[in-house]
Amino acid sequence: MTGRVDGPDKVTGRARYAFEYPLDGAAYAWAVPSVIARGTIRSVDATGALAVPGVLAVITPDNAPRLPGTDDPELALFQSRAVAYRGQYVAAVVAASAEAARAAAGRVVIEYDQAAHDVTLTPDHPRLYKPDFVNPRHETDTASGDFDGAFAAAAVRVDATYRTPAEHNHPMEPHATVAVWDGGTLTVYDATQGPSRAAAQVAGVFGLEPGQVRVIAEHVGGGFGAKGMPRANVILAAMAARITGRPVKCAVTRSQMFAVTGHRAPSIQRVRLGAGPDGRLTALCHDVIDQTSTLKEFTEQSAVATRHMYAAPHRRTTHRVVRLDVPTPSWMRAPGECPGMFALESAMDELAAACGIDPVELRLRNEPAVHPETGQPFSSRHLTACLREGAARFGWAGRDPAPGGRRAGNAHRRWLTGTGVAASTYPARAMPSQARVTVSPSGRYQVLIAAADIGTGARTALLVVAAETLGVPAAAIDLRIGDSALPPAMIAGGSMGTASWTWAVIKACRALRDQVRARDGAVPPGGLSAHADTTADIGALASGPLAGRARYAFGAQFAEVRVDADTGEVRVPRLLGVFAAGRIVSPAQARSQLIGGMTMGLSMALHEESSMDPQFGDYPNHDLAGYHIAAHADVQDIDAVWIDEEEPDLGPAGAKGIGEVGIVGTAAAIASAVYHATGIRVRDLPIRLDKLLRGHP
3-state secondary structure of 426: strand
Stretch that binds ligand MOS, among 67-75, 219-227, 388-396, 404-412 (CB under 6 A): 219-227
Binding mask 366-385 for ligand MOS (x = CB under 6 A): --------------------
Nearer to ligand MOS, 530 or 538 (CB): 538
CA distances from 501 to 17, 178, 211, 492, 514 (A): 22, 26, 21, 9, 20
Nearer to ligand MOS, 266 or 335 (CB): 335
| Closest separation in Å from C-beta 360 to ligand MOS | 29
**Strand (E) positions, 355-463?**
407-409, 414-427, 434-439, 445-448
Stretch that binds ligand MOS, among 117-125, 327-335, 345-353, 634-642 (CB under 6 A): 327-335
CB 399, CB 419: distance < 8 Å: yes
Which residues ranging from 177 to 216 are in contact with ligand MOS (CB under 6 A)?
A: 193
| Closest separation in Å from C-beta 681 to ligand MOS | 28
User: What distance separates the 2 farthest-apart alpha carbons in the chain?
Assistant: 79
CA 282/CA 270 separation, integer angstroms: 17
| Closest separation in Å from C-beta 457 to ligand MOS | 15
Position closest to ligand MOS via CB:
225
Which residues ranging from 405 to 424 are in contact with ligand MOS (CB under 6 A)?
A: none
User: Which of 504, 470, 473 lies closest to 487, judged by CA?
Assistant: 504
Is 336 a binder of ligand MOS (CB under 6 A)? no
Instruction: Single out the catalytic residue among 74, 173, 608, 660.
Output: 660
| Closest separation in Å from C-beta 634 to ligand MOS | 22
Nearer to ligand MOS, 296 or 444 (CB): 296
| Closest separation in Å from C-beta 160 to ligand MOS | 27
SS3 content of the chain, % helix, strand, coil (to 5): 30, 25, 45
Nearer to ligand MOS, 110 or 334 (CB): 334
Sheet with 248-251, edge to edge strand ranges = 55-59, 89-95, 27-33, 248-251, 176-182, 185-190, 213-216
| Closest separation in Å from C-beta 318 to ligand MOS | 23
Looking at 195, 279, 335, 339, which residue binds ligand MOS (CB under 6 A)? 335
Stretch that binds ligand MOS, among 5-13, 217-225, 577-585, 629-637 (CB under 6 A): 217-225
Looking at 228, 403, 427, 482, which residue binds ligand MOS (CB under 6 A)? 228
Nearer to ligand MOS, 228 or 601 (CB): 228
Identify the sign of the CA torsion 210, 216, 218, 222.
Answer: negative
CA distances from 49 to 77, 457, 475, 595 (A): 20, 44, 53, 47
Q: How far is Cα of residue 326 from the mean position of the Cα atoms in its chain?
A: 20
DSSP secondary-structure letter at 663?
T
CB 359, CB 365: distance < 8 Å: no
Q: Calculate the CA dihedral of residues 274, 277, 282, 287 and round it to 10 degrees.
A: 20
Which residues ranging from 451 to 510 are in contact with ligand MOS (CB under 6 A)?
A: 493-494
Looking at 87, 171, 225, 455, which residue binds ligand MOS (CB under 6 A)? 225
Size of the site for ligand MOS (CB under 6 A): 11
497 φ, ψ (degrees, to nearest 5):
-55, -60
Looking at 170, 323, 333, 562, which residue binds ligand MOS (CB under 6 A)? 333
Question: How big is the chain by its Cα radius of gyration, in Å?
Answer: 26
Residue 660 designated active-site: yes
Nearer to ligand MOS, 91 or 667 (CB): 667
β-strand pairing of 248-251 with 27-33: parallel
Looking at 189, 331, 342, 619, which residue binds ligand MOS (CB under 6 A)? 331
User: Which of 675, 667, 666 lies closest to 697, judged by CA?
Assistant: 675
| Closest separation in Å from C-beta 331 to ligand MOS | 4
Stretch that binds ligand MOS, among 53-61, 330-338, 466-474, 663-671 (CB under 6 A): 330-338
79 φ, ψ (degrees, to nearest 5):
-90, -5
What is the binding site for ligand MOS (CB under 6 A)? 193, 223-225, 228, 331-333, 335, 493-494
Q: Which residues are catalytic?
A: 660
